[in-house]
Amino acid sequence: MQLSELLAQTTKLLTQISALNESDILLLQEVLREHNRLYYTEQSPIISDREYDILFQTLKNLEEKYGIWDSNSPTKRIDVLVSNQFQKGLHASQMISLDNTYDENDIIDFEGRIRNILKSDETLVYAMELKFDGLGLSLTYRNGELVKALTRGNGVEGEDVTINALQIVSIPRHISFTSKEVEIRGEVVLPISEFMRINRERMETGEKVFSNPRNAASGSLRQLDYTITASRKLAFYAYSFPYAETEEGRGELKIQTYRDYLSLLESFGFTKTPYIFSAANIRELQAEIHRLTLNRPVFDFEIDGLVIKLNNLTLWNTLGTTEHHPRYAIAYKFPATNVRTKLLSIEHSVGRTGIITPVAILEPVNVGGVTVSRATLHNYDELAKKGVMEGDQVFIVRAGEVIPEVIGPIIEVRDGTEKIITPPITCPSCGTFLVQDIGKVALYCPARATCPAQTSGALKSFAGKHGANMLTLGDKIIDIFIEQGFLTDFVSIYHLREYSSSIIALEGFKQKKVDNILESIEASRDIPLASFFVALGIPQVGRKTGKLLAKYVSEKIGERGLGDILFHLTYEELEQIHDVGPATAGSIVYYFEENREMITKLLYEVHPTFTSMQKGESEEVFLRFTGKSFCVTGSFEGISRDQIHELIELNGGEVRTSVSAKLDYLIVGNDAGSKKTKAEELGVKILDLEELYELIGE
């Protein structure tokens, strides 16, 4: 059947679904068989899972209604009875795993080890297939009938999941090999699309979602209710037929190579592996591994690498196995966690230095145990190079702890609805025309002083704990003050007092709260020089470089003022500072050149200190809470619990996480629960945030 005809037939059946009768059964069977083939063999279904399920269920209902039992029907695997669920069973021979490597070059060593044993220079031919990330399963056929299915388990003993295995469409119930009781091994995998569907359903019903398709495959196969297994489109790929590996088996079956072996499995009715590569020698093998590492093959199954086997089965016997692994095969694992998802849209994000970064907003997807919904595209140059479009299926990768990154689009599956992504012309935050320096890739908003996105990011970082450390001027408050026009730049922070009466008029800002904000601003005028450099947000200058720079600058302080030194810093001298690289040195020089006017004004307001405060002084100023313990519960507006903890600790108090009779104060916010009740029972003094501020102010 032509695909267009199949789709037309399918659509017709679906539109008349409730009117179908006995005369439609044969057509339904044929259509479903075709969709199964497309789904399992071709990996390119042309209808949705939902549509498939409707057709399947309708056929099943009609067959029941008209009492039709057709062993060729795609529904036939459903009607089996439950028995011997999850008894333990011993494997006929141990299911050992393959040796594996993440290093492409280890393949050379692999061949070297083989040559050492064979003591031969003959060219070795390889077969390479996909490494499915699924669940190992062993099937036993007696007189050609499937009689037992055991999970891999620990390799020696597995769980009997025979009833469940019978629900998997791609596991044949009969094979055309009847002379012996034989075992066939392979991998049960769950299509990624099915994995996402199951998780969506589980999310809707409040169940815990599966963290990856392999876990979901395992959970779907090892079900006490086999109808659940049947409802999930598990697939099975056979890759091992131990009898065929014996000398006797090779003779009887007339097979010489692993390719023959796979053809044999296919002739038994097992699904053809979607990818198989023959390498005439190790160089061809390496080239193909390298190609696939750079261009991951696309399937609806999770693939975590490649399996390489010697093609000549005679050599398998010669080489044998070690205690843990066969010597004739090795698994190569792809280097980083790589998954496929849909790119929903692009967010043009304005950084605090004005650089616009394209951020991919993704359909949430699990990458190595973490749910990812955003990934960076770095810059518009790279976006253009990758040719990513909105609505594309994309591969993303999350290697180690770095921010997930979009690898590229899967062009083959585009359906014409994808949209081209163009870089913005104006700043998404302030509307200013964006600028791109000649020879540079970064697109940026030049309105440093007036762009809200830059102001907000810069001010939050300035007031943050590694900067000016204004504990009571939190992120939410900064955003409110920017919106009100009270804050526009660093200098404006030190003029906030002028807006006192307007601030008090705002909802949620009482006198005490405002006083506390203004006090922490006043206190920050004596900012340590290292913190001052961090607060400015000079690109490439973090806490470590801030300290190095402060040390260097403080040594130069004498007759000259701080501004005078900063504005005359040279690239050459900064590069001499140990641990300051050329890019950082350049960034520092450029920053002070560009921001001379702003820094000059700011230095009227703040007076950076060159050495840390003496202990005696600081005790007098801060340690009001020495010897007192505090516990904080509930939620607070404009300040996080962590910030309150810091405030308490800064004042010498001790933070506790639970309420006991020894606790001095419980600080309660909104929705305070059991801790408040307990404190009341124990007679612990309870304070709200206002009262805590008052205590600090005393």
> What's 74's DSSP letter?
T
Cβ 350 to Zn ion shortest distance, Å: 6
Cβ 334 to Zn ion shortest distance, Å: 40
Task: Please give the full DSSP string across 159-209, using - where no structure is assigned.
Answer: EB-HHHHTT-TTS-SB-S--SS-EEEEEEEE--HHHHHHHHHHHHHTTPPP
Tell me how far apart the alpha carbons of residues 299 and 362 are, in angstroms, rounded to a whole number: 19
Question: Could you tell me if residue 58 is left (phi over 0), alpha (psi between -120 and 50 degrees) or otherwise beta?
Answer: alpha
Cβ 482 to Zn ion shortest distance, Å: 13
Say how many C-beta atoms besides its own lie within 10 A of residue 327's C-beta: 18
Cβ 451 to Zn ion shortest distance, Å: 3
Non-local (6+) Cβ contacts of 680 within 8 A are 686
CA angle 212, 217, 219 (to 5 degrees): 95
Is 215 in contact with 221 (CB distance < 8 Å)?
Answer: no
| Nearest residue (CB) to Zn ion, 265 versus 447 | 447
| Nearest residue (CB) to Zn ion, 212 versus 379 | 379
513 counts as catalytic:
no
| Nearest residue (CB) to Zn ion, 429 versus 469 | 429
Pure H helices in 376-416:
380-386
Task: Please give the full DSSP string across 434-460, using - where no structure is assigned.
Answer: PEE-TT---EE---TTT-HHHHHHHHH
Tell me how far apart the alpha carbons of residues 306 and 310 are, in angstroms, rounded to a whole number: 13
Say how many C-beta atoms besides its own lie within 10 A of residue 492's C-beta: 18
| Nearest residue (CB) to Zn ion, 78 versus 449 | 449
CB hemisphere CA count around 326 (13 angstroms): 21
Tell me how far apart the alpha carbons of residues 532 and 630 are, in angstroms, rounded to a whole number: 31
| Nearest residue (CB) to Zn ion, 351 versus 364 | 351
Task: Point out the catalytic residue in the list 60, 65, 119, 131.
Answer: 131
Cβ 434 to Zn ion shortest distance, Å: 8
Tell me how far apart the alpha carbons of residues 24 and 27 are, in angstroms, rounded to a whole number: 5
Cβ 356 to Zn ion shortest distance, Å: 9
Task: Please give the full DSSP string across 613-638, using - where no structure is assigned.
Answer: PPHHHHHHHH-TTTT-EEEEESB-SS
Tell me how far apart the alpha carbons of residues 381 and 441 are, in angstroms, rounded to a whole number: 6
| Nearest residue (CB) to Zn ion, 219 versus 428 | 428
Task: Please give the full DSSP string across 143-171, using - where no structure is assigned.
Answer: TTEEEEEEE-TTSSEEEB-HHHHTT-TTS
> What's 130's DSSP letter?
E
| Nearest residue (CB) to Zn ion, 17 versus 355 | 355
Cβ 428 to Zn ion shortest distance, Å: 8
Tell me how far apart the alpha carbons of residues 350 and 428 are, in angstroms, rounded to a whole number: 7
CB hemisphere CA count around 679 (13 angstroms): 23
Contact set with Zn ion (CB under 5 A):
427, 429-430, 432, 445, 447, 451
Cβ 453 to Zn ion shortest distance, Å: 6
Strand ranges, E, within 231-336: 235-240, 276-279, 303-310, 329-333
Structure tokens at 101: 């490597």
Taking each helix axis from N to C terminus, what angle separates 3-15 and 25-36, rounded to the nearest 10 degrees? 130
Cβ 457 to Zn ion shortest distance, Å: 11
Is 453 in contact with 429 (CB distance < 8 Å)?
Answer: yes
| Nearest residue (CB) to Zn ion, 152 versus 352 | 352
> In b/e form, how buried is each residue of 333-361, taking b as 16+ CB within 10 angstroms?
ebebbbbbbebeebebebbbbbbbbbbbe
CA-based radius of gyration for the chain? 34
Is 157 in contact with 90 (CB distance < 8 Å)?
Answer: yes
Cβ 444 to Zn ion shortest distance, Å: 9
The letter for the amino acid at 197 is: R
Cβ 55 to Zn ion shortest distance, Å: 53
| Nearest residue (CB) to Zn ion, 396 versus 427 | 427
| Nearest residue (CB) to Zn ion, 95 versus 453 | 453
| Nearest residue (CB) to Zn ion, 328 versus 380 | 380
User: C-alpha 556: how far from its chain's center?
Assistant: 48
Any idea which residues carry the catalytic annotation?
131
